[in-house]
Amino acid sequence: MYLCTVMGVYREIGDREYQDLAQRILYEDNHLLVFCKRTGEIVQGDKTGDEPLSETLKAFIAQRDAKPGQVFMGVPHRLDRPVSGVVLFAKTSKALERLNEMLRKGEIHKTYWALTAGEPPKESDILTDCLTRNEAQNKSYVSQNGKEARLKYTVIQSTERYRLLEVELYTGRHHQIRCQLSHMGCPIKGDLKYGAKRSNPDGGICLLARRIQFIHPVKKTEVDVTAPVPLSWKGIEG
């Protein structure tokens, strides 16, 4: 069970963890923080009781800035546990409110990279499917009675065994990229739930939130942040 805040006091971050967290901050100002998430980490608390990044970063900032009292770390969007890449956090309630509104309006653009097995039928295409979510299985399926899901993929690199696809989402359905690419015949490397033949050593999947672009909700300047390619993605150039 992770350690929650008690009377405004956060857990102490050790030197090694402190340096690791500091190096994974891709962008930060008084309003926002963009962080590079690893596979296996969770963004916000869930039933597992594992410490989420929102709490870890609160402790980090409290220690780094010698900040008394509570640290605010709002979560406007999430990444699934097995996914890696850019995650956006709000450092003020005002920024969180504005980011949530921008997400609703589609004003925050996210680009994903997916390392997949199988040969896509085209080098680039727009996939349109209807997806149904099975809550008990925590899995989505292509179904005639589901909600419309649309994405665009483009093959940008190839290795002997895999294809690297750049993916842009036009809708935000549960497990949308994982489900639609699998349905196309190109399951993501390591994604056993959606048809991969074997797991990855780290238990994650080769789906990376590669880039995030938006107009800063307070400064009104452009923010454009790119996550590095995981070292485990051998043969893929970032």
Tens of pLDDT along the chain (238 residues) come to 334 443 357 999 999 999 999 999 999 999 999 999 999 999 988 888 899 999 999 999 999 999 888 999 999 999 999 999 999 999 999 999 999 999 999 999 999 999 999 999 999 999 999 999 999 999 999 999 999 999 999 999 999 899 999 999 999 999 999 999 999 999 999 999 999 999 999 999 999 999 999 999 999 999 999 999 999 998 887 7
**Residue 181 parent element (H or E):** helix 176-183
Q: How far apart are CA 127 and CA 180, in angstroms?
A: 7
The full DSSP string for 14-47 is PHHHHHHHHHTEEEE-SSEEEEEEPTT--SS--T
Which is the catalytic residue, given 46, 80, 202, 224? 80
What residue spans in the chain does CATH classification 3.30.2350.10 cover? 15-108, 112-207
Domain 112-207 fold: Pseudouridine synthase (3.30.2350)
Q: How far apart are CA 163 and CA 141, in angstroms?
A: 23
Give pTM, 2 decimals.
0.92
Mark whether 191 is an active-site residue. no
- What's domain 15-108's superfamily in CATH? Pseudouridine synthase (3.30.2350.10)
Q: How far apart are CA 112 and CA 124, in angstroms?
A: 14
Q: How far apart are CA 36 and CA 16, in angstroms?
A: 17
